[in-house]
Chains A and B, each alone.
Chain A
Amino acid sequence: MNNAQVERIWSWLGEVEDPEIPVISIVDLGIVRDVQWLDDAEGGECVVTITPTYSGCPATHVIAQSVVEALQQRGLPRVRLQTRIAPPWTTDWMSEGGKRKLREYGIAPPIGTAAEQVISLGDIGRGPRPSATPAGLACPLCGSTQVSLTSQFGSTPCKALYRCCSCLEPFDHFKCH
């Protein structure tokens, strides 16, 4: 009963859209870290643990509201949200389905694992340029790997802005983080 309820809640959360990138859900994004169902005399309480993406991401607040609303609409009266910051969110937690949906939407998904992003502090500021494009990054529109970085900071904290040198279209890249 308890497990079935928890599974149901996970599937409901899988329908809650990310407010900035509505093609993927907050579960695809990997920010829902835990769901608990506490049976009690008052109809039970749902505890959802969320790990925010970037410290200042303005979507975090909207996501919290959407979670509570979604679960209350499904008939769960009491929903409690917990924020967990350690271990920090990483794109390693993004689902394969989520990455595919990003690409179809026109955003190049993260490449590689966060561990590969950890750079030696001494390497910053001495060549090769640390802002080099990740190997294998392809234009989500035409698939070309001939791309160039326009800006390390894109339309949201999690994205960088690139330009395809083959089809000439600009595109967002969800940074490996």
Chain B
Amino acid sequence: MLDDKFEYLLRLGDNALVLSQRLTEWVGKGPALEEDMALANTALDLIGQARLWLAYAGEVEGLGRTEDQLAFLRDAHQLRNVLLVERPNGSYADTLMRQYLFDAWHLLLLDALTRSADGQIAAIAEKARKEVTYHLRRSADLVTRLGDGTAESHRRLQDALDDLWMYTGELFEVDDVDAVLQAQGVAESTVTLREAWLAQVGRTLAAATLTMPSPQAWMQKGGKQGRHTEQMGFLLAEMQFLQRAYPGQQW
């Protein structure tokens, strides 16, 4: 079904779009100049990836919607990102942990999608995978150093991990859209991804001297189906303001 593929592409695109928007909120306020640049660079990669996914989504949908229209003219209930990426930035520890948990999943997912039965999905994944490798190197490195750092940095990272953990289950949730695309070989088996992610995250957290919460813990979900948290409206209000106030405005 084309509708399923459209939905799946929106999920890929919206994850990148919303996380990119969150990261740009840090620009000019990073704790160090290098980190400011790293956040901006990561955001830039993600907005580029969002553009590729959403442009393809618009093509699959076949109604002539461009990536800009999909990004700026859908309301919260029409966005398909996981709840993890819309979590507020919080402290730098919260932002960093959110990024690490996402990057570890993102790289595994993109790696799997390079073998997708859909050629365009495979091509975008191959391009994005190279970029996300840098993202994970940085976030895994910083989580390790700060987790295994001072008592204060350790405490902040552990608190961030405990707060964000309930949003990680959705990364591996299988609904009808996922099931259809997995059966077609377009999307990757979520079970395989989850095992690889738990192993990878487990190793990094152990190196960071952080305690991994239980994988069996109760998990939040709903973002993939358009049921978002309260923060989503505020995020969109800022991101979409210009196109809502001045429809069709261009550079």
- Interface residues of A, Cβ cutoff 8 Å to B: 54-58, 85-89, 114, 117, 119, 121-122, 124-127, 129-131, 150-155, 157, 161, 175, 177
Contacts and interface: CB of A to CB of B under 8 A. Distances in A.
Contacts of A56: 43-49, 51
A121 B200 contact: yes
Interface in B17-49: 34-35, 37-38, 40-49
Contacts of B47: 56
B7 interface: no
29 contacts: A54-B44, A56-B43, A56-B44, A56-B45, A56-B46, A56-B51, A85-B123, A85-B127, A88-B126, A119-B133, A121-B111, A121-B200, A122-B199, A124-B107, A124-B136, A125-B136, A125-B144, A125-B204, A125-B207, A127-B207, A131-B137, A151-B37, A153-B34, A153-B38, A153-B41, A153-B42, A153-B138, A157-B41, A157-B131
B244 interface: no
Contact of A54 (B48, B107, B144, B200): B48
Given A54-B48, A122-B200, A127-B207, A152 B128 contact: no
Contact of A130 (B38, B41, B140, B203): B140
Nearest to B251: A61
A126 B34 CA distance: 23
Contacts of B143: 125
Given A85-B124, A86-B123, A124-B200, A131 B141 contact: yes
The 3 residue pairs across chains A and B that have the minimum distance between CB atoms: A56-B48, A55-B48, A125-B204
B137 to A, nearest CB: 5
B134 interface: yes
> What is the interface residue range for chain B against chain A?
35 or more
B232 interface: no
Nearest to B140: A125
A3 B203 CA distance: 56
A127 B137 CA distance: 11
Contact of A124 (B34, B42, B46, B140): B140
B127 A88 contact: yes
B108 interface: yes
Nearest to A158: B41
Contacts of B207: 125-127
B195 to A, nearest CB: 12
Given A130-B137, A131-B137, A157 B126 contact: no
B34 A150 contact: yes
B191 interface: no
Nearest to A86: B123
B204 A157 contact: no
B200 A125 contact: yes
Nearest to A118: B133
B141 A130 contact: yes
B198 interface: no
A175 B196 CA distance: 28
B77 interface: no
Contacts of A175: 134
A57 B45 CA distance: 7
B131 A131 contact: no
Of the candidates A57, A114, A153, A157, the one having the most CB atoms from chain B within 10 angstroms of its own CB is: A153
A1 to B, nearest CB: 35
Interface in B95-136: 104, 107-108, 111, 119, 122-124, 126-128, 130-131, 133-134, 136
A169 to B, nearest CB: 17
